[in-house]
Structure 1
Amino acid sequence: MVRRQPGLGVLTPGATRLEVWGDPIAHSRSPQLHAAAYAVLGLDWSYGRRRVDAASFGQELAGLDREWRGLSLTMPLKAVAFAAAATRDRRAELTGAVNTLLLRGTDSGMPRGFNTDVGGIVRALSDDRITVVPRARIVGAGATATSALVALSELGASEVEVAARRPEAVHALVQLGERLGIAVSPTPLAASDHPAVPVTIATLPGEAQLPAAVADALARSGGLLLDVVYGHWPTALSDAWERAGAPARSGLGMLLHQALLQIRIFRHGDPDMPMDREDEALAAMRRVLVDPHTA
């Protein structure tokens, strides 16, 4: 039976192939997470990985046939996936980034784009019972910082400090903050003093080098650290949080929850529609993160 959700078009029942694309991609944990969930949910879908860069994305996308249900996109493909999407959800529109393409979810057959990174951050923080964040800090001003800012807006933030090597790079985040009703304050990354916040979201690359004094200054007043990195752990910042005796979380929680939202999209075309046996699927995905060999 073809499943139709109001306003979402037809979800093609025979489309069973999915992949995560990016460059690099060998480190991705997404295939294990998706496979664990599909097994619980009784979905006969295959989910692999493919190394694709921005220059080859269009050709690779055009080569997919009707067997393909959807794609997960990681760096450096979120902007080109945004451009390729015929429609986009609000989170994607705000961030200019698409990390999920539903390929067979509209009557026209054109891809629909979503950003599940935002929801992944929100849900990862809720694992630590953080559901309201009046003020916060973001470290770094790259593409992921945009998703972090939108996530903080959904958690009620009105003030966000953005610590970056080049404060002028924060300009786009200041503009987005104005749209979201958030006062965004650029601060040099090497500042010796930062306002106290309950949450810090770090969006720097995992291999980023930070002097200990810089990292320690951020940790002293940073509250809980959510570092979006998971392939390079521990990081300079997580080490500083440990020295400060403060809690630090890797990006695995964000990865987990954004993957669950992707599966909702691939299943129903809607990231806000829970699935039957979803709690069991999430538990299986958590077990994979602890022990990859359980998949």
Structure 2
Amino acid sequence: MTARAAAARRAAVLGSPIEHSLSPVLHRAAYDALGLTEWSYDRFDVDEEALAGFVAGLDGTWAGLSLTMPLKRAVIPLLDEISEAAASVEAVNTVVFHEDGRKVGDNTDIPGMVAALRECGVEQVESAAILGAGATASSALAALSRVCSGEVVAYVRSEARAAEMRQWGERLDVDVRTADWSDAAEALRAPLVIATTPAGTTDALAHAVPERPATLFDVLYDPWPTELAARWSMYGGAVVSGLDLLVHQAVLQVEQMTGVHPAPLTVMRKAGEHALAAR
């Protein structure tokens, strides 16, 4: 165990709203498995206006923070440096407080997506489709820059969103073509489909799942399965869930905050599954 891990430390997830977050369940399960009995992990409802004051009030016992919406961009000006991954999508979901006082931001969503796909057997695809164009879609594009060798088609509801996705494609060096949401059923024939939309948005597409679907990555995890994911599985397709993403990105957070490698992925996943089943 590292000296960093041996001491009593604090960590937490911040966002607003935050009561739904599974992060405390995952991180606490990791601490228990690693024997970090003096570590604690909490959740705090913090909005953009309160963020600077919250961070300024943290003392030296704090090891790190997990950040969810709407704080992933708002936190950047408060940090001393951010990783290349975080800079690529202008979003930080992880802050580590170093012993020298530096506050360093990272984005574990991107490598978390890649790891979740690889766990499902997806190493490389020739093309892909993204459903939606929100903040998660930009992280999905960044992940696809690592696993997709060809065109990515993004299905969106407005020209403004389409323009945003094309801009992200240029920035991330991904060949992005946009299409109207009314044609979203076409996406389901892609070798890899990443659904980044809110709950219920893709329900109307479930009837259009092809007889032999490939891989669906649905970033939702509650409620689960979505109608699209359930139909996809019924037809024999591979499904990666939002819980898979949450666990893989949390594994990377635990490793960065504690300095202990590897974090207990299986234990964390089981804890997440148990918590979801109890809801």
Please give the alpha-carbon distance, in whole angstroms, between the structure 2 residues aligned to 1:19 and 1:75: 14
Could you tell me how far apart the structure 1 residues matched to 2:96 and 2:81 are? Answer: 10
Matched with 1:157 is: 149
**Which residue number in structure 1 is paired with residue 272 of structure 2?**
289
Q: Tell me what 2:165 maps to.
A: 173
Moved more, 42-51 or 140-149: 42-51
Amino acid at match of 1:246: G
Residue by residue, what CA displacement relative to the aligned partner does 1:113-159 show, whole Å, maximum 9, x if unpaired? Answer: 00000011111111211111221111110111010000011114321
The count of corresponding residues between Structure 1 and Structure 2 is: 274
Identical pairs, percent: 39
**Any idea what the Cα deviations from partners look like across 1:149-185, whole Å, max 9, x if unmatched?**
0001111432101011114312232123223332101
Report deviation, 1:13.
6.8
1:257–1:12 CA distance, 2 compared to 1 (3 A): closer
Paired residue for 1:51?
A: 45
CA-CA distance at 1:253 after TM superposition: 0.1
Q: Is the 8 A contact 1:158 1:181 kept in 2?
A: no
| 1:84-233 correspondence to structure 2 within 5 Å | 84-103=78-97, 105=98, 107=100, 109-191=101-183, 194=186, 196-206=189-199, 208-210=200-202, 212=204, 214-217=205-208, 219-220=209-210, 223-233=214-224
For normalisation by structure 1, the TM-score amounts to 0.83
2:258 is the alignment partner of 1:264: no
Unaligned runs of 5+ in 1: 4-10, 269-273
**Distance (Å, rounded) in 2 between the aligned partners of 1:100 and 1:211:** 31
Query: C-alpha separation between the residues in 2 aligned to 1:201 and 1:209?
Result: 13
- Distance apart, 1:189 and its partner CA: 1.0
CA contact 1:209–1:236 (8 Å) conserved in 2: no
- C-alpha separation in 2, matches of 1:140 and 1:112: 30
**Distance in 1 of aligned mates of 2:180 and 2:276:** 42
Structure 2 distance, partners of 1:174, 1:167, is 10
Distance in 1, Cα, partners of 2:104 & 2:132? 29
Judged with a 3 Å threshold, the aligned counterparts in structure 2 of structure 1 residues 69 and 167 are, in CA distance, closer, same or farther, namely same
Question: Taking structure 1 as reference, are residues 71 and 132 closer, same or farther at Cα in structure 2, changes over 3 Å only?
Answer: same
When residues 209 and 197 of structure 1 are mapped into structure 2, their CA distance, relative to the original with a 3 A threshold, is closer
Q: Relative to total residues, which structure has the larger helix share, 1 or 2?
A: 2
Shift of 1:20: 0.6
- Which deviations, in whole Å up to 9, do the C-alpha atoms of 1:76-118 show, x marking residues without a partner? 1111122322211111001110000112x162x1311000000
Secondary structure at the residue paired with 2:220? coil
Q: Is the 8 A contact 1:241 1:247 kept in 2?
A: yes
Deviating more after overlay: 239-248 vs 148-157: 239-248
Correspondent of 1:275 among 261, 270, 279: 261
Partner letter of residue 232 of structure 1?
A: P
What CA distance in whole angstroms lies between the structure 1 residues aligned with 2:136 and 2:230? 21
* Equivalent AA in structure 2 for residue 129 of structure 1: G
Q: Equivalent residues in 2 for 1:72-87 (5 A)?
A: 72-87=66-81
* Structure 2, unaligned runs of 5 or more: none
Deviation at 1:236, TM superposition (A): 4.4
